[in-house]
Amino acid sequence: MYSCAFFGHRDYPYENFEGQIRDSLIDLIENYEVKEFYCGARGDFDWLCAKIVYKLKAQYPFIKCICVWSYMPQKNERHPYFDGSVYLLEKKVPPLYAISETNRRLVDKVEYIISGVMHTWGGAWAAVERGIKKGKTIIHIAKKEKKL
């Protein structure tokens, strides 16, 4: 069983990419045996991807959407898009570094990454760049400012 993570920006209008993301997910499910999708809950790209996976569960009931927490979740913090959640940090990390450290661990955990990165700076870009260096399969949904 294989897994996929999503990395994109907190504030960006991704609605026009919904069909492309959906098609990429179907390809991963049907042709590459991807069954687990790891998604943060911090921004526009995260929520769009979680919603698409949730909708695809009607067609592929065996897939799972797992929420990745960068901070210790509050008790009973849940959302219907997710089948479960995971906290990847084994030791306490200062809040300033929690997201970047979580992203590093998530890149190491998965085989595939769907990237909504639109520019070459920030945490999402750093995660995708790490994925490239680690030889992960990267599916670029949007290429804008620099060839990624």
> Which CATH number belongs to the domain containing residue 102 in this structure?
3.40.50.450
- Number of domains composing the chain: 1
* Continuous H helices in the chain: 18-32, 44-56, 95-109, 123-133
pLDDT value of position 143: 60
Q: Judge whether 75 lies within some domain.
A: yes
pLDDT value of position 43: 87
Could you give the 3-state DSSP secondary structure of residue 68?
A: strand
Q: Judge whether 40 lies within some domain.
A: yes
Closest Cα partner for 65 from 84, 47, 91? 84
Report the half-sphere exposure of 64 (CA within 13 A, side-chain side). Answer: 13
pTM given for the model:
0.91
- Residue 57: DSSP 8-state: T
* Angstrom distance (rounded) from CA 121 to CA 62: 35
- Please write the tens of the pLDDT for every residue from 101-139: 999 999 999 999 999 998 888 999 999 999 999 999 999
pLDDT value of position 90: 83
> Domain range spanning residue 58?
2-140
- Please write the tens of the pLDDT for every residue from 15-72: 899 999 999 999 999 999 999 999 998 889 999 999 999 999 999 999 999 999 988 7
Q: Judge whether 145 lies within some domain.
A: no
pLDDT value of position 79: 80
Is the distance from CB of 52 to CB of 13 less than 8 angstroms? no
Closest Cα partner for 39 from 79, 96, 97? 79
